[in-house]
Structures are given as C-alpha cells and as structure tokens.
Homo-oligomer: A and B are copies of this chain.
Amino acid sequence: MPTSHIVRDGPQGLPEDLLEEMVETFKALSDPTRAQIIFLLTKREYSVNELSELVPVSASGVSHHLAKLRAIRLVNARRDGNQIFYSIDDAHVGALFREALFHLDHVRQNLPDHPAYFEALAE
C-alpha cells in the first residue's frame, strides 16, 4: 500500500509534510491543560512544579505535556539546579493566540452580544 493513509494533496491543497507539521502545532494548543501552560509560558518562564499548581494536573502529567511540547520544539527547557524552567522564545506563538482571539471576536460579532476578548492578551 503506497500512500493510502495519507491525505491527498492536489494542486489546491497544502503539501502533505507541511500539513502534518502544522497539525502538530495546532494539536499542541488543542488541549485545555496544554493551552493554559503555553499561554502562561508566553508571559514568563515557569518550573514544572509551578505549572502543576496553576493547572489541575499532577506534576507528572505536566511533565508529560512538556515532553510533547519539547518534541515539537515549542518550548525551551533551562536547568537551574534542582528544577527545570520552561519558556517559549518564539513570538509567533503569542501571535497565534492573538489571531485565535481575533477569530473568536469575529464569531461573536455575528452574535447577539459580544464580550471584549482582547483584554486577555494585554500585558
């Protein structure tokens, strides 16, 4: 079987490998725990224990998430003695959040009432 499980990409579609990488990035943001972690890390660096106190998951669970995020190079790890601090140095990740908020606002504007979303990203 040659490429049967692979998404067909005609001239119109995104090339297969690019699509796959993009999906990995979105997948990283598509879980509440990970999304919260990544959002926190766009603000400043946190240790694993710090993060596990800010999200409702054990330190082990957080570590698992961070391992995945490391694998796709979305976060940086820095060791300081006993603990390891994670951060995001890619400004585009913050931009990704911002665009998502823009989209949500667009959706809301075509609705009866629309709250102010953007404040969430105010530094």
Q: Which residues of A contact B (CB under 8 A)?
A: 4-10, 12-15, 18-23, 25-27, 29-33, 35-36, 39-40, 43, 54-56, 72-74, 90, 92-93, 95-97, 99-104, 106-107, 110, 117, 120
Contact = CB atoms under 8 A, between A and B. Distances in A.
Contacts of A30: 23, 26-27, 29-30
Given A13-B40, A26-B35, A96-B96, A90 B117 contact: no
Contacts of A20: 32
A39 to B, nearest CB: 5
A96 B26 CA distance: 10
A117 B15 CA distance: 10
